[in-house]
């Protein structure tokens, strides 16, 4: 059992840590206040190869895998969860393509992401079908004029990066739209340039500003047969893609918690009160100690989950372990950011300090890509089924 990174991963961590301090940290507050897309950071991540971390070398990535991307996101999220989300979007929409896509799809769509020349997004949720994925109503019907082609109609919501994307991974009902059978749902690649594709609105968010979240509208969009990902009726692909993403989302929480606590610790070491610094009080030290322990526990869960995902261990029997990382790290991020605000007192609630930004950004993580409650359900079911057992 090894707890140290190999030379390549250690170098990646150190490089991204330096880049995050020098380039991401100075931009974090401005991005939050203006809500403007950080094109400069997109270009930076592209030229440094960070978008290609989880993409195999044969498709112009570096092949560092999910663990490599997890490490990079942790470092970036210490300062900006918006920037961390940009990195996450190199894997969420490409995951189904890498898991079940054709060779032609991989060669066509992955290199552009790896080079930082294209962006992609993931369309699964709908207004009436968030956690209840089987309740989606977006329909795909056979194209009468094109053999093997489909016509998609419907609306997807809460899509991160929707306004910037060049293409989307979209799930739709190829069977009866009212059916809840898993074999009625199929994944498609939808090009932004296709007729009938539009982004009618973007959302006004509490946090993680700078990468637009919004609606994708599909109005009789023609999709060729070669853009079907995997098999028709391949709903399982949605779950495999999300399962493999758990440690990547967890890394956003892990990094956020580290950044928030480090900032608060530096503050209490300098802030005078009652003839001492705040850090001199034992009660404060205990709170810092408890949170530091939670961060390290989350790190172990997250790194293990990333290691498992890179081994292809993201099928049903491994779900409890993957869900634990997402559940624990994101809820811990909420606690860490709350503590950071509290340690700064009134100052922590003001825009003079990033603690209030950490607090707003953290909550998103407990909702996206499977809520805390969904993760708890998956972990509990895993125990009941014996996928997670101790004898």
Q: In this predicted structure, what is the pLDDT of residue 139?
A: 94
CATH of the domain at 299: 1.20.140.10
Q: Is the pLDDT of residue 363 over 80?
A: yes
How far from 265 is each of 166, 281, 341, CA to CA, in Å?
42, 12, 11
pLDDT tens for each residue of 139-190: 999 999 999 999 999 999 999 999 999 999 999 999 887 778 778 899 999 9
Same-domain check for residues 79 and 152: no
Beta-bridge mates of residue 188: 170, 228
Instruction: List the single range of 104-108, 134-138, 254-258 with lowest mean pLDDT.
Output: 134-138
Q: Which domain holds residue 366?
A: 236-385
What backbone torsions phi and psi does residue 296 show, to the nearest 5 degrees? -70, -35
Where among 198, 232, 266 does a domain terminate?
232
pLDDT tens for each residue of 324-358: 999 999 999 999 999 999 999 999 999 999 999 99
CB 84 within 8 A of CB 92: no
Q: Is the pLDDT of residue 379 over 80?
A: yes
Same-domain check for residues 27 and 148: no
Same-domain check for residues 34 and 73: yes
Same-domain check for residues 61 and 147: no
For the purposes of burial, counting CB atoms within 10 Å of the CB of 288, is it exposed (0-12), middle (13-18) or buried (19 or more)? Answer: middle
Residue 22 tokens read as 């020098």
Residue 206 tokens read as 């509490």
Q: Where are the alpha helices (DSSP H) in the chain?
A: 7-19, 25-34, 39-47, 65-77, 81-88, 95-100, 103-115, 236-270, 282-310, 319-344, 355-365, 372-385
Same-domain check for residues 219 and 249: no
Q: In this predicted structure, what is the pLDDT of residue 59?
A: 98
Q: In this predicted structure, what is the pLDDT of residue 305?
A: 97
pLDDT tens for each residue of 268-288: 999 998 999 999 999 999 999
pLDDT tens for each residue of 182-203: 788 999 999 999 999 999 999 9
Beta carbons within 8 Å of 281's beta carbon, 6+ residues apart: none
Q: In this predicted structure, what is the pLDDT of residue 101?
A: 95
Same-domain check for residues 244 and 379: yes
CB 159 within 8 A of CB 121: yes
CATH of the domain at 164: 2.40.110.10
Within a domain: residue 223? yes
Q: In this predicted structure, what is the pLDDT of residue 1?
A: 77
Catalytic residue among 258, 331, 356, 369: 369
Within a domain: residue 212? yes
Within a domain: residue 270? yes
What backbone torsions phi and psi does residue 275 show, to the nearest 5 degrees? 80, 5
Alpha-carbon distance 65 to 98, whole Å?
Answer: 11
How many distinct structural domains can be found in the chain? 3
Q: In this predicted structure, what is the pLDDT of residue 232?
A: 85
CATH of the domain at 52: 1.10.540.10
Average pLDDT on 105-110 reads 98
Same-domain check for residues 243 and 267: yes
pLDDT tens for each residue of 191-243: 999 999 999 999 999 999 999 999 999 999 999 999 999 988 777 888 899 99
Within a domain: residue 391? no
Same-domain check for residues 221 and 268: no
Half-sphere exposure of 386 (CA within 13 A, CB side): 1
Question: What length is written for the chain?
Answer: 391
SS (H, E, C) 71-116: HHHHHHHCCCHHHHHHHHCCCCCCHHHHHHCCHHHHHHHHHHHHHC
Average pLDDT on 278-302 reads 97
Beta carbons within 8 Å of 381's beta carbon, 6+ residues apart: none
The whole-chain average pLDDT of the chain stands at: 95
- Annotated catalytic residue 369: yes
Same-domain check for residues 202 and 277: no
Within a domain: residue 2? no
Beta carbons within 8 Å of 332's beta carbon, 6+ residues apart: 253, 254, 257, 294, 295, 297, 298
Same-domain check for residues 178 and 262: no
Average pLDDT on 297-311 reads 97
Same-domain check for residues 140 and 91: no
The pTM of this model reads 0.95
Same-domain check for residues 218 and 355: no
User: β-pairing, 150-160 with 139-142?
Assistant: antiparallel
Within a domain: residue 290? yes
Where among 96, 115, 134 does a domain terminate?
115
Within a domain: residue 337? yes
pLDDT tens for each residue of 21-72: 999 999 999 999 999 999 999 999 999 999 999 999 999 999 999 999 999 9
Q: Is the pLDDT of residue 93 over 80?
A: yes
Within a domain: residue 390? no
Where among 93, 115, 137 does a domain terminate?
115
Q: pLDDT band at 375, cuts 50/70/90?
A: very high
Q: Is the pLDDT of residue 261 over 80?
A: yes
């Amino acid at each position: 059992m090894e707890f140290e990174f190999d030379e390549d991963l250690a170098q990646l961590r150190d490089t991204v840590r330096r880049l995050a301090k020098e380039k991401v940290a100075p931009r974090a507050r401005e991005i939050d206040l203006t809500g403007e897309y950080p094109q400069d950071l997109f270009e930076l991540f592209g030229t440094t190869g960070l978008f290609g971390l989880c993409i195999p070398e044969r498709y112009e990535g570096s092949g560092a895998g999910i663990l490599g991307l997890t490490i990079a996101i942790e470092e970036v999220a210490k300062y900006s969860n918006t920037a961390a989300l940009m990195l996450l979007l190199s894997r969420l929409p490409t995951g189904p393509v890498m898991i079940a896509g054709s060779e032609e799809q991989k060669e066509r769509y992955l290199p552009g992401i790896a080079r930082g020349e294209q962006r992609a997004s993931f369309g699964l949720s709908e207004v009436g079908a968030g956690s209840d994925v089987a309740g989606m109503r977006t329909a795909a019907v056979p194209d009468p004029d094109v053999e093997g082609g489909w016509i998609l109609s419907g609306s997807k919501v809460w899509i991160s990066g929707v306004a910037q994307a060049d293409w989307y991974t979209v799930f739709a009902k190829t069977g009866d739209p009212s059916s809840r059978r898993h074999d009625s749902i199929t994944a498609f690649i939808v090009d932004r340039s296709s007729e009938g594709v539009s982004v009618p609105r973007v959302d006004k968010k509490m946090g993680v500003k700078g990468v637009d979240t919004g609606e994708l509208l599909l109005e009789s969009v023609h999709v060729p047969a070669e853009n079907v990902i995997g098999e028709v009726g391949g709903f399982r692909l949605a779950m495999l893609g999300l399962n493999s993403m758990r440690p990547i989302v967890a890394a956003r929480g892990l990094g956020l918690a580290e950044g928030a606590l480090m900032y608060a610790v530096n503050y209490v070491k300098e802030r005078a009160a009652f003839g001492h610094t705040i850090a001199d009080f034992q009660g404060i030290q205990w709170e810092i100690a408890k949170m530091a322990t939670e961060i390290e526990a989350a790190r172990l869960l997250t790194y293990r989950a990333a290691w498992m995902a890179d081994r292809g261990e993201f099928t049903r029997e491994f779900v409890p372990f993957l869900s634990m990382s997402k559940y624990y790290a994101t809820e811990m991020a909420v606690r860490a950011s709350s503590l950071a605000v509290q340690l700064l007192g009134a100052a922590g609630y003001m825009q003079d300090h990033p603690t209030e930004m950490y607090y707003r950004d953290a909550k998103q993580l407990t909702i996206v890509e499977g809520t805390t409650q969904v993760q708890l359900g998956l972990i509990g079911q895993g125990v009941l089924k014996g996928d997670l057992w101790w004898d």
